[in-house]
Amino acid sequence: MPANLTPQYLEAEKRYRQAKTDEEKLSCLQEMLALIPKHKGTEKLQAEIKTKISKLKRSFGKKSGLKRTIWYHIDKQGAGQVVIFGAPNAGKSALVKVLTNAPTEVADYPFTTQIPVAGMLPFEDIQIQLIDTPPITKDSEPWLFHIIRSGDLGVWVIDLAEKNLKQSTEQTLNLLLSARISPRPTTEMQYKKTIVVGNKYDEAAGLSALGELKELLPDFNIIPVSVKRFINLEQLKNAIFQNLDIIRVYTKKPGEPPDMKEPVILKAGSRVLDAAYHLHKDFAKTLNYARLWDSNHYKGQRVERNHILKDKDIIEFHIDLK
């Protein structure tokens, strides 16, 4: 099976080969492991990356007497990992706290968050991981950008009550670009799909500030919210799910009702064969055909292995026992 490595993985691998310090190499390797497609064709490469990570961590242990930078990496959980980032005091921690109940520290002064904090966002029948991060500044540690790169989706929180909105927004964007991260589609650096959130929309200047922000970022669909007054948070939750580009597929055994409690999470555009492989690689090898139920046309009709699945499809696998 071919590896089919993504452009994001290849960009991380390029940074690894160019890395000068062990800390930079470790960050790139962890990012590569997070980004690599997980299937049989990459099993050997995954093992090689894990071995390199282990060797670097052991070498750090031998250098306990030396001063070194602390690096953070958060393993992905749930249906997707969404990294919340932005300038100081934009309301990132408050947003993560209200959406997930994560133990983030919230205060009216900047730089409250010093380390990444993970929480789980309930969305219908799945859980989505949100990562609260320290503010992006010119003094940000490289691991912060590593976490942003590694996430499946970015949420850029911008303070609509910020007096210097233009300067603050441009500074954050320039710092991202300096770290070779682009929230806009590009081939020049790593593209990080990003939702822009205008927080504090309920304040006096919120509406006019939103207009200014739309002029600054005309190619983004900006969601105005108020964490304090819970304005448009449901809209944001839906946008997060839609922009993760995932689908939920439910399975059933012949003659039994479907299991609607634990959907199989797949990338949008996945096929019946991909769903079978997700359950077990040997199961995919013996797959003969499947029956499909959906909200439109399919009511148990037979579909082939390459049939493209949609969100909330119900699928019944039939395998060849010969």
Q: What is the pLDDT of residue 109?
A: 43
Mean pLDDT value of segment 23-51: 83
293 and 253 within one domain: yes
Query: Do 237 and 253 have their domain in common?
Result: no
Amino acid at site 318: H
DSSP state of 144: H
Reduced to 3 states (helix: H, G, I; strand: E, B; else coil), residue 11 is helix
Q: Are 230 and 278 contained in the same domain? A: no
Lowest mean pLDDT among 62-76, 92-106, 109-123, 165-179: 62-76
pLDDT greater than 70 at residue 274? yes
Q: How much is the pLDDT for 113?
A: 54
Could you say which DSSP state residue 243 is in?
Answer: H
- Do 170 and 100 share a structural domain? yes
User: Sign of the CA dihedral 171, 191, 80, 29?
Assistant: negative
pLDDT in tens, 249-267: 999 999 999 989 889 999 9
Whether residues 119 and 223 fall in one domain: yes
pLDDT at 16 exceeding the cut of 90: no
Q: What band does 63 get if pLDDT is binned at 50, 70 and 90?
A: low
CATH (domain of 271): 3.10.20.30
Q: For residue 183, what are the domain limits? A: 81-243
Which pLDDT band, with edges at 50, 70 and 90, does 319 fall under? confident
Q: Does residue 69 lie within any of the structural domains?
A: no
144-186 pLDDT, tens digit per residue, is 998 999 899 999 999 999 999 999 999 999 999 999 999 999 8
Element holding 22 (H helix, E strand): helix 22-35
Crossing angle of the two packed helices 233-243 and 92-100, in degrees rounded to 10: 90
Sequence letter at residue 89: N
> Among residues of the chain, what percentage have pLDDT more than 70?
91
Instruction: Quote the pLDDT of residue 24.
Output: 76
The Cα 31–Cα 190 span in angstroms is 12
- Inter-residue contact 86 to 136 (CB < 8 Å): yes
Q: 296 pLDDT exceeds 50?
A: yes
Residue 22 has pLDDT above 70, yes or no: yes
* pLDDT tens-digit readout, 228-246: 999 999 999 999 999 999 9
User: In total, how many domains does the chain have?
Assistant: 3
Return the pLDDT at 66. Answer: 42
Q: How far is it, in rounded angstroms, from Cα 178 to Cα 305?
A: 44
Instruction: Based on the fold, state whether residues 259 and 233 are members of the same structural domain.
Output: no
Q: Is 46 found in the same domain as 90?
A: no
